[in-house]
Amino acid sequence: MKKNAILLIVLMLVICCKKNNDNDMVKKKYLKSSTISVDFPDTVIFGRGYDGKINYKNDLDTVTTKLLDIKRLRFIEYGFLKTTTINYDYKYLKKNLIDTFTSETNRTIPLYNISFDKLGVNFIDGIITDQVRIDSIMLRDGIMQPSTRIITDEFRVTKKVFVIKK
């Protein structure tokens, strides 16, 4: 009987301590040649603020790599919410974002002072919005007129975080 109990405990520890490769979850259907990784601690202390970053590369880098280019203005931002479950759809997430971080370069979105107020498994769940506005001049009705083309990519990015008490 003791042997079975010890075997059961060891088996549970092996299963529970298995490394979870889905810690940084990005909806794969959106990613063609884009690369997104979240650099944020997996385990944090309750109530303490932590910094991190999102490393980001997208197809829109072929249009421009400068964020403040006058002819091709580019905005990259990450709007997110902190939650204990991710059992909701994209529309709910988009409507309930609580905070937004804006990129400093076309490759990095900083995350500042994120803290959690619930113990256990939490998630940072959000949407990266990458938008390029291309200004040009087009001929319309025989007159040259300014025109703006807007290209937008959105990616859902989720980071699983375990919150402990100190």
Would you state the pLDDT for residue 142?
82
What's the CA gap between 31 and 37, in Å, rounded? 12
Q: For 16-54, what is each residue's pLDDT tens digit?
A: 554 444 444 444 444 456 788 999 999 999 999 999 999
Q: Give the global pTM.
A: 0.73
- Residue 141 gets the label, from left (phi > 0), alpha (psi -120 to 50) or beta, of left
How far, in Å, are 2, 3, 104, 136, 166 from residue 121 at the CA level? 32, 32, 29, 48, 15
Beta strands across the sheet bearing 35-39:
35-39, 50-57, 108-114
**Number of Cβ atoms within 10 Å of the Cβ of 54:** 26
What's the CA gap between 38 and 111, in Å, rounded? 10
- Strands 143-164 and 43-45, by their bridges, are parallel
Per-residue pLDDT of the chain in tens (166 residues, 90 and over written 9): 656 556 556 555 555 554 444 444 444 444 456 788 999 999 999 999 999 999 988 877 666 666 666 677 888 899 999 999 999 999 999 999 999 999 888 788 999 999 999 999 999 999 999 888 888 878 778 888 888 888 888 989 999 999 999 8
In this structure, whether the domain defined by 22-164 belongs to CATH 2.60.40 is answered with yes
